[in-house]
Structure 1
Amino acid sequence: MKFGMRTPSLKKSFRARTTGKAKRQIKKALIPGYGRKGMGWIKNPRKALYNKVYRKTTFGWQDLFK
């Protein structure tokens, strides 16, 4: 588990900003329950727990300027 600042990645940051709305709309139409709050705990509780702890214990470089 990582603690502290995440390693910045321009490639991943760009992908996260550009792959958005259309892909989510398609998945929401095809996969029941996609995008609804709490579905991660049902689908894969171990990963959901890891992600919850990770988000609370790390921060990105953009958070330094808030």
Structure 2
Amino acid sequence: MKFGMRTPSLRKSISARTTGRLKRSVKRQLIPGYGRKGMGVLRDPKRAAYNAVYRRTTFGLGDLFK
């Protein structure tokens, strides 16, 4: 488990900001439960627990400038 600052990645940052609203709306229509709160725990509990801890123990560049 990582503690502290996340390694910045320009490519991943751009990818996250440019994933479009159209793509999300199509997935929401096709995949039942997509984008609903709590579905990650049902789909993969181990991954959801890891992500919950990771989100609380790390920080990124954006968090430093807030």
Q: Deviations over 1:6-62 (max 9, x none)?
A: 000000000000013111101000001100000000000000000000000000011
CA RMSD of aligned residues (A): 0.6
Percent identity between the aligned chains?
A: 70
Paired position in structure 2 for 1:11: 11
- Count of matched residue positions in the alignment of Structure 1 and Structure 2: 66
Paired position in structure 2 for 1:33: 33
TM-score by length of 2: 0.97
**Structure 1 unaligned spans of 5+:** none
Deviating 4+ runs (over 6 angstroms): none
TM-score by length of 1: 0.97
